A and B are shown apart, each in its own frame.
Chain A
């Protein structure tokens, strides 16, 4: 029974990793850019939720209603300025610039809000859980995050495959020049993809703040987990990322069950094993590999 609980907790956290990772995946798919500041954007969203929501007299639980649109707009603007400027140079520059951005954000947060942990206040909900048996508890908030992740991934999948803008995004991702010849403004499309990426990662950041405490340095750790989920599931597959996240979550829970020190290590080892035996991941295309 204890192992069933390990499995369930792994699946619950895996949903969060997939939610965190889908924007990373989308930006790579569309612009071939890895935003190394992706994790820090989520942390900033957490801080905005904690410090802005009370000022606007909104309960922190509902802060995502304003924070997510703000981040979508910010994502569009940052893409059209900073990231587009780097893309115009070369892919190499985007790595240098987004890594610089990441370090700047992290240290700014450290200067402004100190290294103290913060969390998004969700009242009594934090302690509530479904009591399945005496070793299996499913906390409401983790379940809500998993459901949110699945809904977001499904909506994103639907948006990309059915809507006109989604088709444009896929067209630009497949062949930028051809899409441009057909009249698509690829810079605008890049902006939209970044808006979606920033919005989803902002949601993930707030979700993280609801589940646990975050600090200025939380972004990096979560970027690693998101990245591992993407590679395990296979680059370029949204549902693969969910499976990857779940497998990573399970590996971490199994590791933690053996010894709390092994939690992250077990996840990293699963990632390295997958990279060794199946480098294109479980459901991936081979595009990201040399």
Chain B
């Protein structure tokens, strides 16, 4: 049903086409991806798993930068802390799979006080400060002997499953987290919060003067993004399953999040997913060439930022006027009353 204002002058639509098509398509896709470990080869399932981890991270980074204007290059702080939260709880005897929501919550809780420090800086200084936070978190974790210090530690509690059952369980856990993160972001952005974020993205001064609590909105986004990256870190730890500070707290995670969001299209939900597909195609085809995929991808992201800032999905959307996961509002004038 299309909402209409009391005078019948305008109508507000939220979708470019019938939502039924999208829902049927989404249901088929969800069904296929849920059954993937039993349909596709093990190597493809493992690529899909890494793809989901990147989708989770990029979706969170896109929420930060594309919607709340915060360029964080320190999200690896929360990937690492999430991984280590899972490791810690697993060492304490918990089932690693059960730790995933706890790791996410822990990262959200840790992020909250950090925002009070970080939000004192803006722009580029904010960006480098997030990196300092990540560096500090890595160094602190590296001094804790229980967690393996600088050399790392194996996540315990995974050996009671058979290798096939374990791979299937890892796949499903990663897929469910990715699904929850993408769907959660979609509903968040369709809610009132999405409207607030759009207003501060489009014109912060105007939003502030209209009474939008910009800082609280930013704080909430930062905490959510930290929790999401924490969940990504938790599934990463389980899939690896050897956890090491230099690997989990690697700046490369933030680089990949940024490139993927940028190339796919900042400020859209579809963008980071599309960007992740491009990333994995490129990475798989340049597998033999060492770090070249990252060089090409980085150069591509720079070019996109300068010449096509709306990314691949933005270009596609502008051309074909359609969205798969619409979060905006289309206000249209309806027939004028006589």
Interface centre among A36, A91, A107, A276 (most CB of B within 10 A): A107
Dominant secondary structure of chain B at its interface with chain A: helix
Interface size class of chain B, counting residues whose CB lies under 8 Å from the partner chain: 35 or more
Nearest-Cβ distance from residue A103 to partner chain B, whole angstroms: 4
Which chain B positions have C-beta within 8 A of A231? 121, 125, 129
Question: Is the beta-carbon distance between A276 and B117 smaller than 8 angstroms?
Answer: yes
B301 at the interface (CB under 8 A from A): yes
Question: Is the beta-carbon distance between B255 and A108 smaller than 8 angstroms?
Answer: no
B10 at the interface (CB under 8 A from A): no
B161 at the interface (CB under 8 A from A): no
Q: In the complex, A107 Cα to B127 Cα: how many Å?
A: 21
Interface centre among B71, B131, B258 (most CB of A within 10 A): B71
Given A100-B258, A104-B294, A224-B135, 6 other A-B residues pairs in contact with their CB atoms under 8 A: A86-B306, A103-B255, A104-B298, A231-B125, A268-B132, A275-B121
Question: Is the beta-carbon distance between B135 and A275 smaller than 8 angstroms?
Answer: no
Given A34-B123, A34-B124, A110-B291: A227 in contact with B302 (beta carbons within 8 A): no
- In the complex, which residue of chain B has the Cβ closest to the Cβ of A93? B305
Question: Is the beta-carbon distance between B306 and A89 smaller than 8 angstroms?
Answer: yes
Q: Which residues of A contact B (CB under 8 A)?
A: 28, 32-34, 36, 82, 85-86, 89, 91-97, 99-101, 103-104, 107-108, 110-111, 220, 223-224, 227-228, 231, 235, 261-262, 264-265, 268-269, 271-272, 275-276, 279, 288-290
247-283 of chain B: CB within 8 A of chain A: 251-252, 255, 258-259, 262
Question: Is the beta-carbon distance between A103 and B294 smaller than 8 angstroms?
Answer: yes
Nearest-Cβ distance from residue A261 to partner chain B, whole angstroms: 6
Dominant secondary structure of chain A at its interface with chain B: helix
131-148 of chain B: CB within 8 A of chain A: 131-132, 135-136, 139-140, 142-143
Question: Is the beta-carbon distance between A100 and B301 smaller than 8 angstroms?
Answer: yes
Question: Is the beta-carbon distance between B295 and A107 smaller than 8 angstroms?
Answer: yes
Question: Residue-by-residue, is B291-321 near A (CB-CB < 8 Å gives 1, otherwise 0)?
Answer: 1101100110110011001000000000000
Q: In the complex, A36 Cα to B128 Cα: how many Å?
A: 8
- In the complex, which residue of chain B has the Cβ closest to the Cβ of A85? B306
Q: In the complex, A78 Cα to B71 Cα: how many Å?
A: 22
B69 at the interface (CB under 8 A from A): yes
Nearest-Cβ distance from residue A223 to partner chain B, whole angstroms: 7
Which chain B positions have C-beta within 8 A of A103? 252, 255, 259, 294, 298
- In the complex, which residue of chain B has the Cβ closest to the Cβ of A217? B251
